[in-house]
Chain A
Amino acid sequence: MAKFAYYPGCIAEFSSKELNATTKALAPMLDIDLLPMPAATCCGAGDIAEAKPNLYLSLNVRILSQAEEMGADVMTICNVCTLNLRRANKIVKDDPRVLEAVNEELVKAGARPYEGTVDVTHLLWYLATEEGLSLLEKQGPKGLNGLRVAPYYGCQLLRPSSVMGFEDPDQPQSLERLIRALGGEVADYEAKSKCCGFPIILAREAVALKESHVALSQARDAGAECMVTPCPLCHLAMDAYQQKAEEANATEYNMPVLHLPQLIGMALGLDQSVMQFKRHMVSVEPVLDVVGR
């Protein structure tokens, strides 16, 4: 069983609990042991990096150090957490002087210093490899019954590629591989790696809703029956704010949006009550009808 220090991120723990619950239920089925990190903070979501860059670095290295102490790499289920943790990891691994300065602060604060031995991965990356796909195969998926799924990557799991590096940010295929492996069809569209607007949705809602419109309208026009995303922030922008985007852009999308683990759970026959579709703003019923409950 593969062991990971599990870093769900704040959104999955609070407003998008359905993501956390589904991931935890799915993990044992896929031979993944998710170890809790009760002392881990928020990654700062790019906001703390923007306000206090040195503080951002020390907070994220503190999280990495906790995983190191647990003897495990970090697994995330959020684009933004993945970028923030990987970026901090790269900064201190690239420059031993920076690591030393950060460790000095950590020790002064009573935290464990970091040796730089941990990697940070996302559930999608783990599963989109040959080994990961074979884990899904082992479960004998009942499949998605040809469901047309629009893969939606968002930004921060792909770019900057110098930090992320799992796949070509201009031709990503990890979600497509999973969708096909689970018996779904891919509804392809250009905006699958454009921004959902979430980072500025509270401060600049009108601009953000124009951004989400691009992907939602293209996915709809590509004939998608639902969208799937590896990021809970993208999920909020695309699902919770979908009606607002419809009003702002004078159009309709009617696009159910699934968290990645929900799509997998659906194909593997995970109990629906665990996946908590009732917490979605846009009804998932039409998707369940296609997959055949």
Chain B
Amino acid sequence: MPQTTFDIFRYQPDFSDESYRQSFDLEHESEFTILDAMLELQNEQDGSLAVRYSCRSAICGSCAVRVNGKTVLACMTQVEAVKEEFGCETVRVDPIGNFAPIKDLVVDMDPFWEKFKSVKPYLIPDGPPPEKERIVSKEAMQKIYNESKCILCAACYSECNSFAADPEFVGPAAFAWGYRFAGDERDGQRRARAKLYSGQHGIWDCTRCMYCNERCPKGVDPRDAIEKLGGIAFNEGISWGDPGARHAKAFLISMKTGGKLNETMLVPFTNPIKSQLDVPFALKMMKKGKAPSPIPHRIKRLSEVKKLIKNVKETI
């Protein structure tokens, strides 16, 4: 049987305000998951070790932890596979990131649920309920299939770089659910949702670090959902107020006028007030030659691009 050392984050606030690390040696079956190992340690070596779990089958979303720094579901990650991936004999186990630990590997999920609730994660149809059930085509459901798979494990928040820098950022899983309903043809709140999600700490705050897509154990791709919500905001004409939306708009204008990004227009267009206040910085950039000519560069065969802009229909 394989033998593994587990280096585990410990935090027992009943005894001390300080967290510490503790090593455990365990001989275990070769198929053991991280969760199996934690429960074995809890049963056989230290009954005070706290770990959150329920289904053990990658469905309930309770047991996300960081293993060697990488957020995973403890129940679907095998110890031996981790050792092979990282070429190590000692496996580090930590609580998920960006949330305050309550005890050992268990974190306070209240902020996560608040964010989840803030996107109104339920169907809000227009008008009175119909007499019969609403039939939805397979194609229509396919559009929101990915987002429907979310099990709310918060693995995506654990390494979200925007959330780490701004705890008020609504964040990946919540927006995946936002799109799951905004993209549902039975929902009557498409425009209202796009408005709700577009505000400060909303979809335009995503820094596109792609950790959420990388970490999601169910293939939800939350960043793609955020992107689709941006598309809905544009389709609904909610694209002028927020600097994030204006940033995207500047790319569209650049594309139309020359085919390449017009950086000199991008800055004031994105944030007109701030860019005026930021003249000293702009001057420094100019001094270093980092303010290109305001006359847009024009690519060859721009007419093709103009036609694409005119013809291509969005299906979001």
* Chain A bound to chain B: yes
B307 at the interface (CB under 8 A from A): yes
A199-B166 contact given A41-B255, A48-B248, A48-B252, CB 8 Å threshold: no
A78 CB, min distance to chain B CBs, angstroms: 11
- List residues of B (298-313) whose CB comes within 8 Å of A's CBs: 299-301, 303-305, 307-309, 311-313
CA distance A10 to B69 in the complex (A): 35
B83 at the interface (CB under 8 A from A): no
Partner of A39 from the list B228, B251, B289, B300 (CB cut-off 8 Å) is B300
- CB-based nearest A residue for B293: A14
- List residues of B (177-226) whose CB comes within 8 Å of A's CBs: 204-211, 213-214, 221, 223, 226
Partner of A200 from the list B244, B254, B281, B307 (CB cut-off 8 Å) is B244
Question: Is the CB–CB distance between B312 and A155 below 8 Å?
Answer: no
A11 proximity list for chain B (CB < 8 A): 261, 263
CA distance A81 to B286 in the complex (A): 25
Question: Is the CB–CB distance between A105 and B308 below 8 Å?
Answer: yes
A250 proximity list for chain B (CB < 8 A): none
Place the interface of chain B in its size category.
35 or more
- List residues of A (200-239) whose CB comes within 8 Å of B's CBs: 200, 202-205, 207-208, 210-211, 214, 236
Question: Is the CB–CB distance between B165 and A111 below 8 Å?
Answer: no
A252 proximity list for chain B (CB < 8 A): none
Question: Is the CB–CB distance between B285 and A47 below 8 Å?
Answer: no
Number of inter-chain CB pairs below 8 Å: 210
B291 at the interface (CB under 8 A from A): yes
CA distance A197 to B204 in the complex (A): 12
A161 at the interface (CB under 8 A from B): yes
A1 at the interface (CB under 8 A from B): no
A202-B270 contact given A17-B289, A42-B260, CB 8 Å threshold: yes
A49 proximity list for chain B (CB < 8 A): 227
B259 at the interface (CB under 8 A from A): yes
B56 at the interface (CB under 8 A from A): no
CA distance A111 to B290 in the complex (A): 33
A52-B259 contact given A41-B299, A203-B204, A203-B243, CB 8 Å threshold: no
Question: Is the CB–CB distance between A111 and B289 below 8 Å?
Answer: no
Partner of B209 from the list A111, A171, A195 (CB cut-off 8 Å) is A195
Question: Is the CB–CB distance between A197 and B207 below 8 Å?
Answer: yes
B284 at the interface (CB under 8 A from A): yes
Question: Is the CB–CB distance between A204 and B244 below 8 Å?
Answer: yes
A42-B261 contact given A51-B251, A59-B255, A200-B244, CB 8 Å threshold: yes
Interface centre among B251, B303, B314 (most CB of A within 10 A): B251
B292 at the interface (CB under 8 A from A): yes
B21 at the interface (CB under 8 A from A): no
Tell me if B's interface is mostly helix, strand, loop or mixed.
helix
A59-B305 contact given A160-B210, A202-B266, A211-B161, CB 8 Å threshold: yes
A83 proximity list for chain B (CB < 8 A): 210
A256 at the interface (CB under 8 A from B): no
- List residues of B (44-71) whose CB comes within 8 Å of A's CBs: 69-70
Partner of B301 from the list A16, A39, A50, A190 (CB cut-off 8 Å) is A39
CA distance A284 to B184 in the complex (A): 53
- CB-based nearest B residue for A241: B281
Question: Is the CB–CB distance between A281 and B288 below 8 Å?
Answer: yes
A160 proximity list for chain B (CB < 8 A): 210, 213-214, 221, 223
- List residues of B (70-93) whose CB comes within 8 Å of A's CBs: 70, 85-86
- List residues of A (125-142) whose CB comes within 8 Å of B's CBs: none
28 contacts between A and B (CB under 8 A): A10-B263, A11-B263, A45-B251, A47-B247, A47-B248, A48-B248, A52-B231, A53-B227, A53-B228, A54-B312, A55-B309, A59-B255, A109-B311, A155-B208, A159-B211, A160-B210, A160-B221, A194-B161, A195-B207, A200-B204, A200-B207, A202-B271, A203-B243, A203-B271, A204-B243, A211-B161, A240-B290, A244-B281
Given A39-B300, A51-B248, 6 new contacts (CB under 8 A): A44-B251, A54-B313, A58-B308, A110-B304, A155-B209, A200-B204
- The 4 A-B residue pairs with the shortest CB-CB distance, nearest first, are A159-B210, A109-B307, A50-B230, A203-B243
Chain B residues with a Cβ under 8 A of chain A: 69-70, 85-86, 161-162, 164-166, 169, 204-211, 213-214, 221, 223, 226-228, 230-231, 234, 239, 242-252, 254-255, 259-261, 263, 266-267, 270-271, 274, 281, 284-285, 288-292, 297, 299-301, 303-305, 307-309, 311-316
